[in-house]
């Protein structure tokens, strides 16, 4: 698998205006790259990557450093989910996972993408799973990294340490609170640089960002919408081949949260990265890419009576 140098953000950035029933007309920001050559470009589904939901999160902050590596194997799109990054920040209607999944499907329609592989981290993992449940024929394979909604903690208390730090930032935003939150994402604290904190703080305090975070958060606390986000209750319905990936030292969605999903999803497998937190794509970048590409490369299209995907 050839490696490629990092891609410049401005060279791969694009946007599209889409319309959904809940969100109305919104513009989504995304980054797209395809570094394959010739015949290689025709035989694999595109790959859509969906980021997590912490303060200052975006497609680029989660996956920008990984884009070139994956684009060497797949047409790869990193999507800013509604409320994050350069995408519009409308009030969330219903539960966020369904709200965002509908927006991602609308983007797929706009770009002429009939079917894609999905890779989602944390909040993006919940969006990816909801999309696969609601639109099973639009998804090939799923890679879920410490996914929200599907992670059911058996031994750890709720809220977890990472979620507590997230709520503390939401209650009183500051660089110190943000650094404390980001520190729970990784084992290697050298990754928590001043530059990263400044970049994420700027995005987290940009116009509309804090309101969007509150709207997203309330969709998981409001009794009328929270149950729709309990994806573990629907895990038995998922028919796609699913790779669950977890950092062994994840302090946001701890490893014990994988067990129910592994038991209930018929075609699930689990890969655990040692000495790794919630950001496997950054902290275990090379191994994560190798495992993910290997899993996706085994996809084969074929007709299934159930409407599921291989």
CA distance 284 to 165: 23
Q: Exposed/middle/buried for 11, CB within 10 Å: 0-12, 13-18, 19+?
A: exposed
From CA 246, how far away is CA 273, in angstroms rounded? Answer: 6
Q: Rg of the chain over CA atoms, in angstroms?
A: 18
Distance of CA 266 to the CA centre of its chain: 21
**Percent of residues in the chain assigned helix, strand, coil, to nearest 5:** 45, 15, 40
Residue 36: C-alpha distances to residues 33, 50, 116 (Å): 9, 21, 17
Centre a 10 Å sphere on the Cβ of residue 96 and count the other Cβ atoms it contains.
Answer: 28
Angle between helices 123-134 and 96-111 (to 10 degrees): 70
What SS3 class is residue 219?
A: helix
The region, left, alpha or beta by phi > 0 then psi within -120 to 50, assigned to residue 307 is left
Catalytic positions are: 278
| HEC letters along 260-289 | HHHHHCCCEEEEEECCCCCCHHHHCHHHHH
């Amino acid at each position: 698998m050839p490696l490629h140098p990092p891609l410049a953000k401005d060279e791969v950035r694009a946007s599209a205006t889409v319309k959904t029933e809940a969100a109305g007309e919104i513009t989504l920001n995304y980054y797209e790259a395809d570094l394959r050559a010739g015949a290689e470009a025709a035989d694999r589904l595109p790959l859509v990557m969906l980021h997590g939901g912490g303060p200052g999160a975006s497609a680029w902050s989660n996956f920008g450093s990984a884009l070139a590596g994956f684009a060497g194997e797949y047409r790869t799109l990193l999507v800013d989910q509604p409320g994050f990054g350069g995408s519009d920040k409308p009030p969330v209607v219903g539960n966020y996972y369904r709200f965002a999944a509908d927006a991602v499907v609308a983007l797929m329609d706009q770009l002429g993408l009939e079917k894609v592989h999905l890779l989602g981290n944390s909040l993006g993992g919940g969006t990816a799973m909801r999309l696969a449940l609601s639109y099973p024929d639009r998804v090939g394979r799923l890679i879920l990294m410490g996914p929200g909604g599907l992670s059911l903690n058996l031994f750890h208390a709720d809220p977890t340490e990472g979620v507590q730090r997230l709520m503390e930032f939401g209650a009183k935003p500051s660089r110190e609170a943000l650094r404390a939150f980001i520190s729970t994402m990784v084992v290697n604290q050298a990754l928590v640089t001043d530059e990263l904190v400044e970049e994420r703080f700027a995005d987290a305090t940009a116009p509309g960002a804090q309101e969007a975070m509150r709207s997203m958060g309330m969709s998981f606390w409001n009794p009328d919408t929270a149950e729709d986000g309990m994806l573990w209750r629907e895990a038995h319905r998922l028919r796609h081949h699913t790779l669950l990936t977890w950092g062994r030292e994840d302090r946001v969605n701890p490893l014990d949260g994988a067990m129910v999903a592994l038991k209930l999803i018929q075609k699930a497998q689990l890969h655990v990265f040692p000495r790794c937190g919630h950001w496997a794509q950054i902290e275990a970048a090379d191994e994560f890419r190798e495992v993910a590409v290997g899993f996706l490369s085994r996809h084969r299209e074929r007709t299934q009576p159930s409407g599921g995907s291989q």
